[in-house]
Amino acid sequence: MCKSKSYTGIDCFRFIAALLIIAIHTSPLVSFNAMADFILTRVIARVAVPFFLMTSGFFLISRYTRNADRLITFIKNTALIYGAAILIYIPVNIYNGYFRMDNLVPNIIKDIVFDGTMYHLWYLPASAIGVVIAWYMVKKAGYKKALAVSVILYLIGMFGDSWYGIAEKVSVLKSFYGFVFQITDYTRNGIFFVPVFMILGGFIADNNYKFSFKKSMLGFFISFAFMFVEAMMLHHYKLQRHDSMYIFLLPCMFFLFNAVLHFRGKRYVWLRTSSLVIYIIHPMIIVAIRLFSKILHLQELLVENSIVHYIVVCLLSVIFGIAVTILWNKYKPGKPKHISGTDRTYLEINLDNLEHNVKVLRKAMMQNCELMAVVKTEAYGHGAFEISTHLNKMGVRAFAVATIDEGIKLRKYGIDGDILILGYTSIQRASELKKYDLTQTIGDYDYAKALNNQGIIVKVHIKIDTGMHRLGISADDFVEVKRIFSMRNIKVCGIFTHLCCSDSLEEDDVLFTRSQIDRFYGLIDVLEGSGITIPKLHIQSSYGLLNYPYLKCDYIRVGIALYGVLSSPNHKTELELDLRPVLSLKSKVVLIRSVKEGDSVGYGRNFIAERDSRIAILPVGYGDGYPRSLSMENSSIIINRQRVPVIGRICMDSLVVDITDAGEVSVGDTAILIGMDECGGLPAPDVAESYGSISNELLCRMGARMPVVTI
């Protein structure tokens, strides 16, 4: 099983960012050159906090999220850390006279919510507030609108920060910012500063940007050069009230983060934890160093020499951070973790093959035709979340499901675009159709009338029965179809039919399919002739494309072909596309034992050994979707690039294979039940054919309890 590499660059740059933040609070070069210190602490180091925010956004602010659990966990953890940090710094606050200020209670509330009870702690409440704003803006409005709003918020904050010198000269703006500063001391907070960086991080994650490292670094250096000029200009004209928010900080961070993503490899979780500890504890270290240097009369060396002061603060903060991390990892409450490579049985999903199939299918389509990905039944057993989110990132904007609940799941995963429900939905759920922006199939006039009577505007596609006689309004019922177009609460967005034998090139089947096509387009011509504006059309499924690629439609509903296989190995098609299987079913050998000639294996003693044999037990069975009808040597699997027969009856949770002739097989070896290897493999159509079924049915069995591993 291939393991995806972790974002090593993010882990390492967290640590660098923590050291830059220490630089901001210690001014390492101020003893030697004030301008050099300004450049380091007020320009270069300004990338640190935005990087932390973009990292949080990268992992949290994603359209492709199942629910808000991770968001809630982030807020809870941030609140706990913030609470602990507030308690830690109470002695320092007592020493510096914090609790003797006027209007103590209102100021404490303001500090807790916005400014932090210590100067650096503002980051924690800002993160909690900003992530909520960013998460819900992306969820409700999508990235484009969310980014636009967050940039406006950032610009408002910027004129209360580094560009304040201009704002204070305009009376209206001065009054506005005066009001803001009564609530919060700075505009670099969770409302104005944080959301844009959170959203940028999520935007990069979801849109799968792949700028080369050279282009990313070039973009960063150009943006940084402009930011440097901007900072120097603002400093020269003394326009800065604070100096956290620059115009060119936004593109600078966008390109820097993309560059950092190119460093992939081992995950360094300890760097992530220790960086947070360093950030929180370094002011305490600064206080401690100043105290002990005063006691030991070493102020000139440890405090007044700014470089030495910075180095010592960094060193002690890092030591403390690593120590806390070690103790935390040793004593933190344990929870079960999924360890890659330990699964008993798993589905391996090759996303590169999925991308390849999409490109091949799109190339085969007529011009201006759009791929509608059929992802019903957990994307034919491949995992609806993994498949749909990856397709959405690739630009697929039309999906088809069987039920309203499947459609709602896709929306909760963050899927953009049209989602067509091919099956029946109770009219009582009309409000959910609208809420989740789902498109319902109408296959009956009475159903359309009942749905219209709910008083809720619903998007629909009308299904036409052209000869399959399953669902759909007859192609001859022109009047009923036309009436649906006039219904007040029904918004017709498409019309389609289904070709019931398009998978066959037998003469009779081809003639029948052509009659279906003629009946469908005949109805469309009549509708158009009566003044109806024709919505989007779709008539082809996978085999419709492969055998009738010349049909002009707006969508092609691609199901089984999207996953790289045909329904049967015997099917011949007009188009022979280079489709690649996406799914492999794999398991592991968990036990090897010997059986003597005459011994029986499994339920019912259906297998009797005809020779002394070696058998292997695999923890996979019909409970995992591997059909019981493949028992009794009706199937084989691959271990060590060799086919070995399945013997005895397949159980709910296990099966047995004969490895007598398979050479060296060991416990822990990987077995392929469905899928390809270097020597050919076991394609789903062949496995399905061996028990008298089709790939569609076999694959849809998969995934009930097995983890999905993407490669």
For the annotated catalytic residues, the residue numbers are 376, 603
In the three-class reduction of DSSP (H, G, I as helix; E, B as strand; rest coil), residue 647 is classed as strand
Strand ranges, E, within 265-417: 345-349, 370-374, 398-401
Report the helix count and the strand count for the chain, using DSSP H and E: 26, 20
Distance from C-alpha of 151 to C-alpha of 58, rounded to nearest angstrom:
17
- What is residue 114's DSSP assignment? I
By C-alpha distance, which of 462, 453, 459 is closest to 484?
462
With beta carbons less than 8 A apart as the criterion, state whether 400 and 422 touch: yes
Residues in contact with 316: Cβ distance below 8 Å, sequence separation at least 6, in sequence order: 285, 288, 289
**Cα 624 from chain centroid?**
26
- What is residue 219's DSSP assignment? H
Strand ranges, E, within 370-481: 370-374, 398-401, 418-421, 439-442, 458-465, 473-474
**Cα 379 from chain centroid?**
16
**Cα 380 from chain centroid?**
20
Going from the C-alpha of 187 to that of each of 55, 201, 239, the distances in angstroms are: 21, 21, 15
| Tokens of residue 443, six digits | 């296959």
With beta carbons less than 8 A apart as the criterion, state whether 507 and 513 touch: no
Distance from C-alpha of 568 to C-alpha of 695, rounded to nearest angstrom:
6
Which helix (H) or strand (E) covers residue 332, if one does? Answer: none
With beta carbons less than 8 A apart as the criterion, state whether 591 and 567 touch: no
By C-alpha distance, which of 205, 191, 255, 197 is closest to 226?
255
Distance from C-alpha of 538 to C-alpha of 463, rounded to nearest angstrom:
10
User: Tokens 């007044």 appear where?
Assistant: 304
Distance from C-alpha of 28 to C-alpha of 319, rounded to nearest angstrom:
19
Strand order, beta sheet including 583-588: 591-595, 613-618, 655-658, 642-647, 636-639, 670-674, 583-588, 345-349, 708-710
With beta carbons less than 8 A apart as the criterion, state whether 651 and 621 touch: yes
| Tokens of residue 526, six digits | 């009549």
- In this structure, the number of other CB atoms found within 10 A of the CB of residue 403 comes to 15
With beta carbons less than 8 A apart as the criterion, state whether 320 and 44 touch: no
Q: List the beta bridge partners of residue 556.
A: 371
- In this structure, the number of other CB atoms found within 10 A of the CB of residue 563 comes to 28
Distance from C-alpha of 588 to C-alpha of 345, rounded to nearest angstrom:
7
Distance from C-alpha of 94 to C-alpha of 216, rounded to nearest angstrom:
47
Please provide the DSSP assignment of 209-274 as one string: ----HHHHHHHHHHHHHHHHHHHHHHHHTT--S--S--TTHHHHHHHHHHHHTT--BS--HHHHHH
Residues in the chain: 711
Distance from C-alpha of 699 to C-alpha of 380, rounded to nearest angstrom:
6
